[in-house]
């Protein structure tokens, strides 16, 4: 969310930013919010003047009432002034109600105006305009046919989708045996990898209040993602970033604690609205999964450096699993409204002969901090808004697709990279139960 003062002083820049995000339907909001803000400030000014006048008149009434004990004629004067004070009190109540209403309307609109994107963000209307920046590892294609990922899992008796559909419907799964163990091994390695990087491990709440949801994401995202608990002000998290950033709501953080670097584990729950293509069957796009996340709360001048470090962490981890990846810079139209800059880390799928998303790294600037009032007290005693960043560390079972395809052998066995062997009981290879 932008600062209303910034919008007031830079309306054309805000409009240009909206155009770059291809959200022209929001252009009228800029003039509307400026006009509402002007009315709110006028109400504040008039109310302040009335309070000053009322205080002066109240003192005058007290003085006249004292004089009336000796001079009864002063009593009439006092009553006239009392009437003025009463009229001012009524007007003041009207102004306070008007101010509150206008400020609420201003806030509602400000929540819809997108964050200013970084100048380095490529301009384009949708993800088709995202830009490949660089590749890491050789994207190889084996000389044997690679089965669909659920078929690979089934060869190890590692997945049961039919039972999951009977129990919970589409978008759920049972993982079993070595595949379930591999799932947990990847999460455990990701956890330890981030701890080795100096991040503090956290297990957060898996439900959050509506005020936190409003603070961490835009309304379109919320509608497309969040499950609400019926009859309660609670939502299931779609990613642990939500509750991790919510932890700092209404907090003033000492500058000497910056940066705060955290890595969190959680289950994630998502509606996943919309049509799903053929390649998004199985465990690619699901309603429930687990994830290891990276979170940074830092000073504004540090946020771009941390953005670079976070996505590089993903590259390093995936390469340790023998998975080739690439960095894809998200274009303006593909950025959620709170994001300043974002990139995806995509893994190579030798079966599909293309890359697909496995991590998303985002710098949200002060957008979440402004909504949630996350402030930092500097060495000079002054307060300023923190910057927040997040990045996926790993999110199985989707990343298992990339893992299985890239480590599969012609005989159906799957190699276990050295980095994962301690988490798999020393196993160097998974042997299929059936072919």
pLDDT tier at 222, thresholds 50, 70, 90: confident
Contact between 283 and 398 under an 8 Å Cβ cutoff? The reply is yes
Give the C-alpha separation, 433 to 337, whole Å: 47
Distance, in Å, from the CA atom of 262 to the CA atom of 271, rounded to the nearest integer, reads: 26
pLDDT tens digits, one per residue of 33-63? 999 999 999 998 888 887 777 666 665 655 5
CB-based contacts of 358, cutoff 8 Å, min separation 6? 314, 318, 325, 345, 346, 347, 392, 394, 395, 398, 399, 402
Q: Answer yes or no: pTM beyond 0.85.
A: yes
Identify the pLDDT of residue 362: 97
Cβ neighbours for 18, distance < 8 A, ≥ 6 positions apart: 24, 26, 27, 30, 113, 114
Q: What is the mean pLDDT of the chain?
A: 91
- Are 129 and 333 in contact, with CB atoms under 8 Å apart? yes
Segment 370-421, tens digit of pLDDT: 999 999 999 999 999 999 999 999 999 889 999 999 999 999 999 999 999 9
Compute CA distances 306 → 11, 193, 248, 311, whole Å.
30, 17, 19, 9
How, if at all, do strands 429-430 and 414-415 pair? antiparallel
Q: Enter the tokens of residue 72.
A: 């009864």
Q: What is the pLDDT of residue 67?
A: 55
pLDDT of 255-306, one tens digit each? 999 999 999 999 999 997 654 555 557 788 889 999 999 999 999 999 999 9
**C-alpha gyration radius of the chain:** 29
pLDDT at 359: 95
Do 95 and 103 contact (CB within 8 A), yes or no? no
Are the CB atoms for 123 and 68 separated by under 8 Å?
no
pLDDT at 397: 86
* pLDDT-derived band at 19, boundaries 50, 70, 90: very high
Domains of the chain (ranges; CATH) run 4-110 (1.10.287.40), 127-430 (3.30.930.10)
Q: What is the DSSP letter of 147?
A: P
Determine the pLDDT at residue 37: 94
């Amino acid at each position: 969310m932008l600062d209303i003062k910034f919008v007031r002083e830079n309306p054309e820049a805000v409009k240009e930013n909206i155009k770059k995000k291809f959200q022209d339907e929001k252009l009228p909001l800029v003039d509307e919010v400026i006009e509402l803000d002007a009315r709110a400030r006028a109400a504040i000014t008039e109310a302040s003047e009335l309070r000053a006048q009322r205080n002066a008149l109240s003192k005058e009434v007290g003085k006249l009432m004292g004089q009336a004990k000796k001079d009864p004629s002063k009593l009439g004067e006092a009553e006239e002034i009392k009437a003025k004070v009463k009229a001012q009190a009524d007007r003041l109540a009207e102004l306070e109600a008007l101010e509150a209403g206008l400020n609420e309307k201003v806030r509602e609109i400000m929540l819809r105006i997108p964050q200013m994107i970084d100048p380095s963000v490529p301009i384009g209307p949708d993800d088709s305009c995202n830009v490949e920046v660089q590749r890491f590892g050789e994207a190889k294609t084996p000389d044997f046919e690679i089965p669909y990922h659920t078929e690979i899992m089934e060869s190890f008796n590692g997945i049961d989708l039919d039972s999951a559909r009977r129990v919970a419907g589409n978008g759920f799964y049972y993982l079993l045996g070595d595949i379930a163990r591999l799932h947990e091994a990847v999460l455990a390695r990701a956890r330890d990898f981030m701890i080795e990087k100096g991040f503090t491990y956290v297990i957060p709440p898996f439900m959050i209040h509506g005020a936190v949801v409003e603070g961490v994401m835009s309304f379109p995202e919320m509608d497309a993602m969040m499950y609400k608990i019926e009859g309660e002000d609670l939502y299931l998290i779609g990613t642990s970033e939500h509750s991790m950033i919510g932890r700092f709501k209404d907090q003033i953080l000492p500058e000497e604690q910056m940066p705060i670097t955290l890595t969190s584990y959680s289950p994630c729950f998502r509606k996943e609205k919309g049509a799903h293509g053929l390649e998004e069957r199985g465990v690619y796009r699901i309603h429930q999964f687990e994830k290891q996340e990276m979170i940074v709360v830092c000073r504004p001048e540090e946020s771009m450096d941390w953005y670079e470090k976070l996505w590089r962490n993903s590259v390093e981890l995936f390469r340790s699993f023998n998975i080739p990846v690439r960095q894809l810079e998200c274009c303006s139209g593909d950025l959620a409204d709170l994001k300043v800059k974002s990139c995806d880390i995509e893994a190579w799928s030798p079966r599909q002969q293309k890359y697909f998303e496995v991590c998303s790294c985002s710098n949200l600037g002060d957008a979440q901090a402004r909504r949630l009032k996350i402030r930092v007290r500097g060495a000079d005693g002054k307060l300023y808004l923190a910057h927040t960043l997040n990045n996926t560390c790993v999110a199985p079972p989707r990343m298992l697709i990339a893992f299985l395809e890239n480590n599969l052998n012609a005989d159906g066995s799957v190699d276990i990279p050295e980095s994962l062997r301690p988490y798999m009981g020393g196993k160097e290879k998974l042997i299929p139960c059936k072919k």
